[in-house]
Chain A
């Protein structure tokens, strides 16, 4: 069974710090990796996609992928209280299926 694991948290960081969110996955052949942000009472919103090993930066967000170690991470620089949300990791499997498997999510709290 394909699994995506995340620490449920909460991860608490001070404003201005770097928040580091981690995700591991079991399907070694996975091809596509995603981070979604979900504010309380709202629906998930895609914030990053990454498809190849290495780093991908978008503004204050950096996604890091290491397929050999089967982990993907999300770094949030200069964290703001508005970043407080649950961050969901999703992985699309190998074998032609595009349907992603979601992790349970990590709750992030950025305190002033």
Chain B
């Protein structure tokens, strides 16, 4: 399997549930990202990991918890979410350094919070 894969593609959860989004990249990249995309809004950077170390955390609420066990896998743990957290969550990977802006995105996980 190649590229960046995300699971699940669709997720519906209640505000009291705990779930996790998974991302896996097969591109040999050393940086991984979580973005949030809401309707009519630009991409919002949530977290960045480079070489498994978190290098960016854009004031994201603590109900979102990232985990990067190795350079190929990235998780986003979700708990006690709010309806406004409903969005498309995109994982991306890249090389760090000058080529770091060349992001390769997964297909996204569409999250609905009831």
A contact set with B: CB distance below 8 Å: 31-34, 36, 42-46, 49, 51, 88, 90-92, 98-100, 102-105
Contacts and interface: CB of A to CB of B under 8 A. Distances in A.
17 contacts: A31-B98, A32-B99, A42-B107, A43-B90, A44-B43, A49-B102, A51-B98, A92-B100, A92-B101, A98-B31, A98-B94, A98-B97, A99-B33, A99-B100, A102-B42, A104-B42, A105-B42
B108 A34 contact: no
A43 B107 contact: yes
A46 B98 contact: no
A46 B41 CA distance: 19
B90 A98 contact: no
B42 A103 contact: yes
Nearest to A88: B43
B45 interface: yes
Given A44-B43, A49-B101, 7 more contacts: A34-B102, A43-B105, A43-B107, A44-B90, A46-B104, A98-B99, A98-B101
B48 interface: yes
A102 B43 contact: yes
Classify chain B's interface size.
20 to 34
A36 B103 CA distance: 9
Contact of A90 (B55, B98, B101): B101
A105 B42 CA distance: 7
Contacts of B106: 43
A109 B106 CA distance: 24
B96 interface: yes
A34 B103 CA distance: 9
A99 B99 CA distance: 10
B92 to A, nearest CB: 8
Nearest to B95: A98
Contacts of B103: 34, 36, 44, 46, 90, 100
A43 B103 CA distance: 11
A42 B101 CA distance: 19
B56 interface: yes
Nearest to A42: B107
